[in-house]
C-alpha cells in the first residue's frame, strides 16, 4: 500500500531533504507527491526548461525507498504565461475577471492555455516516463475546487453555443426544450445565445434565468472541465503506461463521468478546516461518494495531518482523531493514503495549513500519531482490504444536484446536505450503505434510496421499475418525479414517472422555511412536506400522519418488491429508516453498538471506530474481538477495533 506525504522540494533547502526522507522512512512513508504547483520550477521563463531540481529530489528520496507521484503543473500557470495571454482568466457572472494571484486562474476553454497545457504535459511525461521512481501521474490538482467550473467569458459563450448545436442540432429544438416562449425569450440566431450572467431581477431572487438554460449551462461547464482533464490524460497515455489519477473534489462537475478518465479515483479528505467541521457520518459519506464514482481503486491524495485553513484555522483535531480519520479512510479499502502536507510552509497562502511537521521541521505529536496510524493500518491490512457488504444504495445524482442548486424549492434546502442526512442515519443504525449513481447495478442491493430525484429520464425510470418488480425495494422522497430531463416541470400528476410504482398521488405541498413540526417518535419535520393520497399504497405506520391527516410514509407492494414514499424532509431519518429496514430485512443485527461507533461490515468481520471523545462499550452478537476473543469490547476515545465472525 502507498503511504505518502505531499512534499515540495522547491520550498526547502536541498541540504534538508535527506533529513526529511529519513524521518518519512522511519514512520513508514514510502511515497511523495510533487510537482502539481511546479510549473515555474521547471520553466521559470518561457522556453527555459530545467527539471534538475525535481530530478535530484526524486533520486534522493528513491535512495530511501521513497517513490514519487508526479503532478502535471497546470494548476498554477506562471506569471510569464499569464502575461503572454492576458485574456486567460475566468469571468464571474457579474462580468468581473477572476485574475492572477492565487491558483486555478484560467478558463478551461482558452485555446492558448489548452496548447500550453499540451506542451507542458507532454514535456513532463516524456521526461519522467522511463523513470521507474515515478510511479504515477496526478492530473492538475483539485479541478473545480475554487468554484472554477462556471465561466461566463465570451469564449465560453461561443463554446456553449457550439455545445448546444451538437446537442440539439437546431434552434427550434433549443427553444422547445427551454420553453423560450416564456417572457419572449425565443432565439432566432445562434449568435443570440447567452450565458447566464446577472439579470435585472437577480438582486431579489438570486438568479432569474430560464431553468433549461441554467441546467444546460451547468452540463456544458461540467463537460468543459471534463474535456480539459481528457486533454491531459490522452497525452499521458500516449507517452507512458504509468497510473493516472486525480483528486476529485468538484461540486460543479459530473464526477462519475470525470472518473472514467483515470485509473484510480483520488480524493482529498479534510474533516476539520476553515470551511468544514464534519460529523463522522459526513466524513464517511465523502469517502463513500468518492469510491462510488467508479469501480476503481480509491487513493486518498491529501489526508488531513493537522489543523488547517488559509486565513483562519479550523478546529484543531483532538489527539487520536488524525489516526482515526486515517483508519476510517483505510476501512474503505483504499490503496493509497497520502498526507497533506509533510511540513508546514512558512510562506504563501497556506501558512496556516499545518502538516505532519510544524514550520520549524521538528517532529512532534502529529508526527508520532501519523506513524501510529500507518502502523495500525499495516497491522490490520488483511481485514481492511476485504470487500464491504452491499446492502443499501444511496443515490447521489449530479443532474439533480445541478437542478436543486439553482431551484431548491425552499430556502435552507441544500441537496447534498439533505442526502447526507439519509447517509448519517444509516450509519448511526449500522446499516451497510454504498453511495452511487442512477447507473449503478441496482440488483446488487436489497434497498435503494432515491433522495430528491426530481429529474428522471424514462430509461432510468424503467430500470427502477424493473428492479422493484423483480423483488427490489426503493425509498422515494419529496420532489420525486417532478421534472423532465430538459428541466421543465412535468405535466403528469406527481410523483410523475414514479406514480404507478409508488401507488400515491401528491395532492398538495407545504414549503416550511420557518416552520418545524415535532413528532415524539420520529423527530422534527422541516423544510418541505407533501400531502399524499393513497391509491394502491397503504400508510406505512398509521400513527405517522401529517397535520392534515395524510400518511407521512406510504408503502406499496409492486411486483415482488416494495416502494416506500417518505413525504417530508426530516431533521433526522433514524426512526423512519429503522422501521423501513426492518420491513425490508435490511436492518443490522450485530448486537449493541453505540451510535457514535461507526461499523463497517466486511465479508467476515466488522471494522469498529469510536468517533466520540469518551470510552464506549460494544456488545457484539455473532462477532468477537479479534484480539481477545470476547464479544464485549471497551473502545478507547477515538479508538479502533476489528471484530471477526464467531
Neighbours of 187 (CB within 10 A): 17
- Binned average pLDDT, 10 residues per bin, the chain of 646 residues: 98 98 98 98 98 98 98 98 98 95 95 98 98 98 92 98 98 98 98 96 89 98 98 98 98 97 98 95 98 98 97 97 98 98 98 98 98 98 95 98 96 97 98 97 98 94 97 98 97 98 98 97 98 98 97 98 98 98 96 98 96 98 94 97 96
CA distance linking residue 248 with residue 268, whole number of Å: 7
Q: What is the DSSP letter of 444?
A: G
The H or E element spanning position 83 is helix 79-84
Amino acid 205: pLDDT: 84
CA distance linking residue 563 with residue 580, whole number of Å: 10
Residue from 102, 54, 98, 106 nearest 81 by CA:
106
Could you say which architecture CATH assigns to the domain 591-645?
A: Sandwich (2.60)
**Are 86 and 77 contacting, i.e. CB atoms less than 8 angstroms apart?**
no
Name the phi and psi angles at 365, rounded to 5.
Answer: -55, -45
Residue from 274, 290, 591 nearest 282 by CA:
290
The verdict on whether omega for the bond into residue 341 sits within 30 degrees of 0, i.e. cis, is yes
The DSSP line for 268-298 is EE-SBSSS-B--HHHHHHHHHHHHTT-SS-E
**Are 398 and 292 contacting, i.e. CB atoms less than 8 angstroms apart?**
no
97: β partners:
91
**Are 635 and 597 contacting, i.e. CB atoms less than 8 angstroms apart?**
yes
Residue from 145, 9, 111 nearest 70 by CA:
9
Residues in the chain: 646
Residue from 397, 285, 307 nearest 356 by CA:
307
Residue from 399, 486, 495, 487 nearest 438 by CA:
399
Task: Give the cell for residue 376.
Answer: 495500525
Q: Reading across the β-sheet that carries 504-519, which strands appear in turn? A: 504-519, 523-534, 568-570
The H or E element spanning position 161 is helix 154-168
Q: What is the DSSP letter of 618?
A: E
Say what angle helices 154-168 and 171-178 make with each other, to 10 degrees. Answer: 100
CA distance linking residue 9 with residue 19, whole number of Å: 12
Greatest alpha-carbon span in the chain: 76
Amino acid 206: pLDDT: 85
CA distance linking residue 183 with residue 177, whole number of Å: 15
- Strands of 359-469 (E only): list them: 392-395, 433-436, 447-450
- Residue identified by cell 410523483 is 495
CA distance linking residue 630 with residue 70, whole number of Å: 46
CA distance linking residue 34 with residue 449, whole number of Å: 40
Amino acid 146: pLDDT: 84
- First-last CA distance in the chain: 29
CA distance linking residue 91 with residue 113, whole number of Å: 15
- Residue 523 to residues 77, 82, 281, 517, 570, Cα–Cα distance (Å): 51, 55, 19, 8, 7
**Are 527 and 555 contacting, i.e. CB atoms less than 8 angstroms apart?**
no
**Are 5 and 28 contacting, i.e. CB atoms less than 8 angstroms apart?**
no
Please state which of the four CATH numbers 3.90.550.10, 3.40.50.300, 1.20.210.10, 3.40.50.880 is assigned to the domain occupying 392-584: 3.40.50.880
Amino acid 436: pLDDT: 98
Task: Give the cell for residue 313.
Answer: 484555522
- Which of the residues are catalytic? 142, 302
Amino acid at each position: 500500500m502507498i503511504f505518502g506525504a505531499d512534499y515540495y522540494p522547491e520550498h526547502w533547502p536541498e541540504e534538508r531533504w535527506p533529513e526529511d526522507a529519513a524521518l518519512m522512512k522511519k514512520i513508514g512513508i514510502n511515497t511523495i507527491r510533487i510537482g502539481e504547483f511546479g510549473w515555474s520550477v521547471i520553466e521559470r521563463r518561457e522556453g527555459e526548461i530545467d527539471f534538475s531540481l525535481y530530478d535530484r529530489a526524486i533520486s534522493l528520496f528513491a535512495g530511501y525507498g521513497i517513490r514519487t507521484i508526479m503532478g502535471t503543473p497546470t494548476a498554477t500557470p506562471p506569471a510569464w504565461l499569464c502575461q503572454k495571454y492576458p485574456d486567460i482568466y475566468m469571468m464571474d457572472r457579474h462580468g468581473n475577471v477572476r485574475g492572477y494571484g492565487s491558483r486555478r486562474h484560467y478558463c478551461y476553454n482558452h485555446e492558448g492555455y489548452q496548447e500550453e497545457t499540451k506542451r507542458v504535459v507532454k514535456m513532463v511525461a516524456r521526461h519522467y516516463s522511463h523513470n521507474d521512481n515515478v510511479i504515477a501521474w496526478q492530473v492538475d490538482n483539485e479541478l473545480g475546487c475554487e468554484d472554477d467550473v462556471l465561466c461566463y467569458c465570451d469564449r465560453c459563450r461561443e463554446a456553449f453555443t457550439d455545445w448546444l448545436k451538437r446537442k440539439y442540432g437546431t434552434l427550434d429544438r433549443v427553444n422547445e426544450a427551454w420553453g423560450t416562449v416564456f417572457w419572449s425569450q425565443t432565439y432566432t440566431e445562434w449568435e443570440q445565445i447567452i450565458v447566464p450572467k446577472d439579470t435585472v431581477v437577480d438582486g431579489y431572487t438570486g438568479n432569474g434565468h430560464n431553468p433549461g438554460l441554467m441546467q444546460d449551462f451547468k452540463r456544458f461547464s461540467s463537460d468543459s472541465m471534463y474535456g480539459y482533464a481528457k486533454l491531459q490524460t490522452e497525452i499521458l497515455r500516449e507517452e507512458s503506461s504509468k497510473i493516472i489519477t486525480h483528486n476529485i473534489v468538484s461540486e460543479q462537475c459530473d464526477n462519475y463521468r470525470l472518473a472514467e478518465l483515470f485509473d484510480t479515483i483520488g480524493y482529498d479528505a479534510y474533516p476539520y478546516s476553515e470551511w468544514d467541521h464534519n460529523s463522522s457520518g459526513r466524513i464517511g459519506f465523502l469517502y463513500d461518494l468518492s469510491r462510488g464514482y467508479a469501480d476503481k481503486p480509491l487513493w486518498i491524495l491529501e489526508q488531513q495531518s493537522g489543523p488547517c485553513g488559509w486565513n483562519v484555522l479550523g478546529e484543531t483535531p483532538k489527539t487520536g482523531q488524525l489516526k482515526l480519520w486515517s483508519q476510517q479512510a483505510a476501512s474503505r479499502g483504499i490503496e493509497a493514503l497520502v498526507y497533506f502536507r509533510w511540513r508546514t510552509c512558512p510562506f504563501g497562502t497556506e501558512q496556516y495549513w499545518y502538516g505532519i511537521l510544524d514550520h520549524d521541521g521538528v517532529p512532534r505529536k502529529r508526527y508520532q500519531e501519523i506513524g501510529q496510524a500507518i502502523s495500525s493500518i499495516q497491522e490490520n491490512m488483511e481485514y481492511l482490504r476485504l470487500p464491504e457488504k452491499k446492502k443499501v444504495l444511496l443515490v447521489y445524482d449530479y443532474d439533480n444536484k445541478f437542478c436543486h442548486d439553482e431551484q431548491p424549492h425552499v430556502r435552507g434546502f441544500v441537496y447534498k446536505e439533505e442526502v447526507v442526512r439519509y447517509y448519517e442515519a444509516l450509519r448511526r443504525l449500522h446499516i451497510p450503505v454504498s453511495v452511487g449513481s442512477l447507473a449503478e447495478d441496482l440488483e446488487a442491493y436489497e434497498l435503494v434510496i432515491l433522495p430528491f430525484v426530481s429529474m428522471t429520464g424514462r430509461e432510468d425510470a424503467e430500470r427502477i421499475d424493473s428492479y422493484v418488480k423483480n423483488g427490489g425495494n426503493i425509498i422515494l422522497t419529496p420532489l420525486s418525479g417532478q421534472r423532465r430531463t430538459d428541466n421543465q416541470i412535468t405535466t403528469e400528476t406527481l410523483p410523475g414517472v414514479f406514480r404507478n410504482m409508488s401507488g400515491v398521488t401528491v395532492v398538495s405541498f407545504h414549503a416550511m422555511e420557518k416552520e418545524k413540526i415535532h413528532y415524539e417518535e420520529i423527530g422534527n419535520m422541516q423544510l418541505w412536506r407533501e400531502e399524499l393520497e393513497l391509491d394502491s399504497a397503504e400508510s406505512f405506520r398509521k400513527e405517522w400522519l401529517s397535520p392534515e391527516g395524510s400518511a407521512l410514509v406510504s408503502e406499496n407492494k409492486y411486483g415482488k418488491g416494495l416502494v416506500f414514499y417518505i413525504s417530508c424532509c426530516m431533521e433526522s431519518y433514524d426512526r423512519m429508516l429503522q422501521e423501513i429496514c426492518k420491513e425490508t430485512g435490511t436492518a443490522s443485527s450485530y448486537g449493541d453498538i453505540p451510535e457514535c461507533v461507526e461499523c463497517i461490515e466486511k465479508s467476515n468481520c466488522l471494522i469498529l471506530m469510536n468517533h466520540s471523545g469518551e470510552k464506549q462499550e460494544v456488545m457484539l452478537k455473532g462477532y468477537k474481538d479479534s484480539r481477545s476473543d470476547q464479544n464485549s469490547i471497551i473502545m478507547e476515545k477515538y479508538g479502533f477495533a476489528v471484530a471477526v465472525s464467531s
